[in-house]
Structure 1
Amino acid sequence: MARQEQGSDGVCRRVVVFPLPFEGHMSPMLQLAELLHARGLAVTVLHTDFNAPDPARHPELAFVPSHETLPDGDATPGAGTDIVAQLLALNGACERPFREALASLLLGQRPPDVACVVVDGQWYTALGAASGLGVPVLALRTDSAAMFRSMLAFPRLRDAGYIPVKDERLDELVAELEPLRVRDLIRVDSSDTDALCGFIARVAAAMRASASGVVLNTFDAIEALELTKIQEELSCPAFAVGPLHMMCPAPADHSLHRPDRSCLAWLDAHPPRSVLYVSLGSVASVDPGVFEEMAWGLASSGVPFLWVVRPGSVHGVGTEATPRMPDGIDEEVRTRGKVVTWAPQREVLAHEAIGAFWTHCGWNSTLESICAGVPVLAQPCFADQTVNARYLTHQWGIGLELGDVIERARVAKTARMVMTGKEGGRMRERARQLKLQTNQCVASSLAIESLARYMLSL
């Protein structure tokens, strides 16, 4: 059992964490909580009622709900596609409940006392609220260092005329952020540009005004330069503690979806590196026409595939309904493919049958593919995914771009290229080398220990 860390006064210490209620944000925060607990800190998870985590999966942690009231309409999480509006609405709705819940924890404080609070980096209102209560607060960035650096630079990019993005500058390199092009900058096509810029400005301002530190789910082997640039720009320390899912002492299920584990037995029946794994993550969705092109491209590629098609992944189908395959494609699915509503992704990527990963390039998926040594087909959808896709394809050399227009012939050609072509073989070797570097980094990392010591010093 982990010993309880104590401050100089001999009182045990506690960390309060406040995750954003989306799977890509919840998982790394709970992984961080488990790592801190394993180092002797008590941890309380203050969470929203919306997408609340299951305390039964984490008996070592304490859980306290904030009991927020979310607005009605399109800004409600899950009710629409405007992610920026949803984040703004969540920040507005949760500021007061978070402050009151945290104040209640502090008022009734008894050993272990609160050393600090860790909030998701998108909770700009929570950063200010915790600081206002006199509690040291750190921000966990669940995206890449390159993405966070892009956010810090956003006002300068706007002043330089890069934002809003102009078609004639799409392929122009952004000198401050190479290898990014203008087309790779943070974007949310369904959101208003001014709203996006306003959100990013609030996040950056809250970081500079309130944060005692920033925690990043990344590591030197892949983002050393970006981490150096971030540290030069911020007055508070930055801790690169990733990849969190590799640092955890034992795998834990943080998923908000129930995985179909039958896909692992299906993979067992396939030769090494023969199956293309396809998943666009827990939030991204595509138009029906794109879904149909993806399906027919996979069907005509001749490549065995495991495809995650979750409810809500196709616009207009509904968040509870699983999209249907296009007419005529069932035979291809039965003979060469398997479709599931959710998969145990880390186990899938670690399976020897997987030859490549068709991904939306969310940061968790990006880290998991790097750690598994699996090359990727990149289909970024919004936000940080364009940044990650550029690094996968042009910085680390382990990915191929599918392009802005998803068309069945290109899908089939690119799938064959990554699975059986010479370029796919070269990417696979680079992915293998990057995996070795990652393993060495994980084995020698003391970042979590440094973070825990810093928390106790606050």
Structure 2
Amino acid sequence: MEETDEQTEVQDPRLRRRLVLIPCPLQGHMTPMLQLATLLYSKGFSITIAHTHIIFPNQSNYPHFSFQSIISGGKPPSDVKTFIFYINNNCADPLKECLLSLLSKSDKQDYEPVVCIISDAMMYFAKDVADSLKLPRMVLRTSSAISYDAFTYVLQLNQQGCFPIQESRLEERFPDIPPLKFKDLPTMKTSDGSSLYEFLLKMLLTTKASSGLIWNTFQDLEKLALTSITNDVHIPLFAIGPLHKTVTTISSTTSLLPQDSTCISWLDKQSPNSVIYVSYGSIVGMDQTEFVEIAWGLANCGHPFLWVIRPNSVANCSQWEKLLPDGFHEIVRGKCCIVQWAPQQDVLAHHAVGGFWTHSGWNSTLESICEGVPMLCRPCFGDQAVNARFVSEEWRVGLNLENGLEREEIVRFIRKLMEGKEREEMMVRVKDLKEKAKNCINQGGSSLESLQSLINYILSFNK
């Protein structure tokens, strides 16, 4: 998609309609929603972001968007699950007030009419608000398509009274979604799945009740899952990913955390494909024992490494430097770079990076595939175990570090990822997926065609 085409489309009055986007206030969800907003703006739509004051983007990066706060004040819960319930329980009335204000402005000739809202799938409160105002509502799914199938089966198993799954069965393959194991399903992390079940039920029911489903994935990666979902939901589905590659011509950052770009100059000094990049995303933490084992594993692996350690990411420890073992700095001198947050897309695109140790969030998984970088997966919660299983056993572009996190095991897996015949085979497969991801957003590609279908579909709401 050339920049000149985008500029022409922005000026096309036929497309001047306002969309209200409602992101989930978590980095991994905010990023694709802002990417979608940027993409739709480039195609001629006016954009309003209805956000919370808890976590929100830097508005100066989006001078052409309008921002409306739909909740402020109060201290939100610290754990993710309770936080999501908190948002859904407190945002409906403020969102309705916001939309009523925008709709009243639509009566004026110089203000674009609101034609639909697009909400994150986790922001299920938006359904009742949209219905009450008779506004079309579309849903953005920020996770993999296969995880939707997994969540659906979680509900079915719960309804059948199958929870908690017996410990002896956790390693068994899940018959309906090979190659998943029972332990990969979200509720396998706890013996009490009731609250998660309630959340999944609301999320999936409100998704099916929407006017359409937008997905940050592409056909050549998840064709079977997308076909299965289309048959299940009976609403239009638009796979337009990878979003971060679709909006590369537009200069903006979606990171909610300050990025340390000094790591790029460090990477410039490293040999091609030599560096293992380690990042657990914006939420996932670790306990102190795990931190020490990771440190020793990286120190002993024989490869230079770029390690992202967020503040407060180590449990009950505000100064992680004090946990580093004696002799660590001497061992890693010259082959280690540690930052609080990295410009991940730039890092993965760097010629020095040969592997990515990831928590297997969907954004990170897509970004790694798009740069042809094989992954070492260490999933923690949510859909991450599903993604990791498909990375390692379906697409076979990475390894799954799913057992104990001991230093010797870490060394073995890193060397397996970075050296030898198995790495060569993974590289062939991930380079193939990289090429398919590139082709899908070019002329004639499935994602570009799906995007045009999405634009036409949104325009039909105002007829």
Name the TM-score, length of structure 1 as normaliser: 0.93
Residue 72 of structure 2, aligned match among 64, 68, 71? 68
Write out per-residue CA displacement over residues 394-431 of structure 1, whole angstroms, 9 at most, x where no aligned residue. 11001111123211000011111111122122112211
Structure 2 residue 125 is matched with structure 1 residue 121? no
Structure 2 residue 403 is matched with structure 1 residue 400? no
Alignment of 1:164-175 (within 5 A): 164-175=164-175
Match of 1:283 in 2: 283
User: Structure 2 counterpart of 1:87, which letter?
Assistant: I
CA gap of 1:129–1:164, structure 2 versus 1, over 3 A, is farther
Match of 1:97 in 2: 94
Structure 2 distance, partners of 1:292, 1:127, is 45
The number of residue pairs the alignment matches comes to: 444
Match of 2:182 in 1: 182
Write out per-residue CA displacement over residues 365-407 of structure 1, whole angstroms, 9 at most, x where no aligned residue. 0000000000000000100100100110011001111123211
- 2:154, 2:185 within 8 Å by CA — same for their partners in 1? no
Look up the SS of the partner of 1:59 in the other structure. coil
Alignment of 1:206-217 (within 5 A): 206-209=206-209, 211-217=210-216
CA gap of 1:162–1:5, structure 2 versus 1, over 3 A, is farther
Residue 22 of structure 2, aligned match among 8, 18, 33? 18
Match of 2:195 in 1: 195
Residue 448 of structure 1, aligned match among 433, 442, 451? 451
CA gap of 1:154–1:187, structure 2 versus 1, over 3 A, is closer
User: Structure 2 counterpart of 1:96, which letter?
Assistant: D
- 1:68, 1:97 within 8 Å by CA — same for their partners in 2? no
Match of 2:460 in 1: 457
Match of 1:273 in 2: 273
Write out per-residue CA displacement over residues 37-82 of structure 1, whole angstroms, 9 at most, x where no aligned residue. 1111111111111112111101121211123344x4xxx25x3xx3
Look up the SS of the partner of 1:339 in the other structure. strand
Look up the SS of the partner of 2:324 in the other structure. coil
- 2:277, 2:307 within 8 Å by CA — same for their partners in 1? yes
Structure 2 distance, partners of 1:118, 1:168, is 42
Look up the SS of the partner of 1:446 in the other structure. helix
Structure 2 distance, partners of 1:324, 1:425, is 38
Structure 2 distance, partners of 1:87, 1:165, is 25
- 1:35, 1:448 within 8 Å by CA — same for their partners in 2? no
Structure 2 distance, partners of 1:296, 1:449, is 50
CA gap of 1:361–1:189, structure 2 versus 1, over 3 A, is same
Match of 1:358 in 2: 357
Match of 1:425 in 2: 424
Look up the SS of the partner of 2:186 in the other structure. coil
- 1:317, 1:323 within 8 Å by CA — same for their partners in 2? no
- 2:215, 2:238 within 8 Å by CA — same for their partners in 1? yes
Structure 2 distance, partners of 1:216, 1:49, is 26
User: Structure 2 counterpart of 1:128, which letter?
Assistant: D
Match of 1:88 in 2: 85
CA gap of 1:309–1:295, structure 2 versus 1, over 3 A, is same
Write out per-residue CA displacement over residues 229-261 of structure 1, whole angstroms, 9 at most, x where no aligned residue. 111011211111100001113352111111111
Alignment of 1:231-380 (within 5 A): 231-248=230-247, 249-318=249-318, 324-328=322-326, 329-380=328-379
- 2:21, 2:118 within 8 Å by CA — same for their partners in 1? yes
Structure 2 distance, partners of 1:5, 1:174, is 51
Residue 48 of structure 1, aligned match among 48, 52, 58? 52
Write out per-residue CA displacement over residues 259-283 of structure 1, whole angstroms, 9 at most, x where no aligned residue. 1111111111111100000000001
Match of 1:107 in 2: 104
CA gap of 1:322–1:421, structure 2 versus 1, over 3 A, is same
Shift of residue 323, structure 1, vs aligned partner: 5.5
User: Structure 2 counterpart of 1:453, which letter?
Assistant: N
- 2:142, 2:216 within 8 Å by CA — same for their partners in 1? yes
Write out per-residue CA displacement over residues 77-122 of structure 1, whole angstroms, 9 at most, x where no aligned residue. 5x3xx32111111111222212221222112324310110001110
User: Structure 1 counterpart of 2:92, which letter?
Assistant: E
- 2:71, 2:90 within 8 Å by CA — same for their partners in 1? no
Shift of residue 192, structure 1, vs aligned partner: 4.5
Structure 2 distance, partners of 1:362, 1:226, is 18
Look up the SS of the partner of 2:254 in the other structure. coil
Match of 1:3 in 2: 11
CA gap of 1:197–1:58, structure 2 versus 1, over 3 A, is same
- 2:151, 2:185 within 8 Å by CA — same for their partners in 1? no
Structure 2 distance, partners of 1:83, 1:434, is 32
Structure 1 distance, partners of 2:60, 2:22, is 18
Match of 1:218 in 2: 217
Match of 2:384 in 1: 385
Shift of residue 5, structure 1, vs aligned partner: 4.6
- 1:333, 1:339 within 8 Å by CA — same for their partners in 2? no
Shift of residue 190, structure 1, vs aligned partner: 7.1
Give the fraction of aligned pairs with identical amino acids, expressed as a percent.
39
Match of 2:149 in 1: 149
Look up the SS of the partner of 1:272 in the other structure. coil
Look up the SS of the partner of 1:66 in the other structure. strand
Name the TM-score, length of structure 2 as normaliser: 0.92
Write out per-residue CA displacement over residues 165-203 of structure 1, whole angstroms, 9 at most, x where no aligned residue. 321111222222222110111248479421111110111
